[in-house]
A = this chain, B = another copy of it.
Amino acid sequence: MVTIYDIAQKANVSAMTVSKVINNTGRISEQTRKRVKKVMEDLNYIPNSNARSLVLQQTQILSLLITDITNPFYTSLARGAEDSAKKLGYRLLFGNSDEDYIKEQDYVDMILSTRVDGVLFAPAGDGSLKNLEKLRAHNIPFVILDRAVPGIESDIVSGDSRQGARNLVDYLVSLGHRRIALVNGSLDVSTARLRYEGYAEALQLQGIALDEDLVIHKSYREYKDEDQLARLLDLPAPPTAIFAANNFLAVGVIGALRKRGIRVPEDMSVVCFDDLDLSSALDPFLTVAAQPSYQFGAMGIQLLVERIQGSAVPEARKVVLPSELIIRSSAKTIGE
Spell out A's residues near B (CB within 8 Å): 1, 44, 46-51, 53-54, 57, 59, 69-70, 72, 75-76, 78-79, 82, 86, 91-96, 106, 109-110, 112-115, 137-138, 247-248, 251, 254-255, 276-283, 285-286
Contact = CB atoms under 8 A, between A and B. Distances in A.
A69 B75 contact: yes
3 pairs of A and B residues whose beta carbons are closest in the complex:
A94-B94, A276-B279, A49-B113
A94 B85 CA distance: 12
Given A283-B283, A283-B285, 9 more contacts: A47-B113, A48-B115, A50-B115, A54-B54, A69-B75, A69-B79, A79-B96, A255-B282, A277-B277
Contact of A279 (B49, B93, B279): B279
A282 B281 contact: no
A52 to B, nearest CB: 8
- Which one of A59, A78, A276, A282 has the greatest number of beta carbons of chain B within 10 Å? A282
**SS of A interface (majority):** helix
6 contacts: A44-B137, A91-B110, A93-B94, A251-B279, A255-B282, A283-B283
A115 B69 CA distance: 26
A296 B168 CA distance: 39
B248 A114 contact: no
A50 B47 contact: no
Contacts of A82: 69, 94, 96
Contacts of A44: 137-138
Given A44-B138, A283-B285, A91 B114 contact: yes
A48 B59 CA distance: 12
A129 B228 CA distance: 53
A46 B109 contact: yes
A280 B281 contact: no
A49 B247 contact: no
Contact of A50 (B59, B69, B76, B281): B59
Given A75-B69, A79-B69, A283-B285, A46 B113 contact: yes
A93 B324 CA distance: 33
Nearest to A276: B279
A255 B279 contact: no
A48 B286 contact: no
A49 B254 CA distance: 47
A156 B334 CA distance: 55
A282 B251 contact: yes
Question: Which of A76, A248, A276 has its CB near the most chain B CB atoms (within 10 A)?
Answer: A276
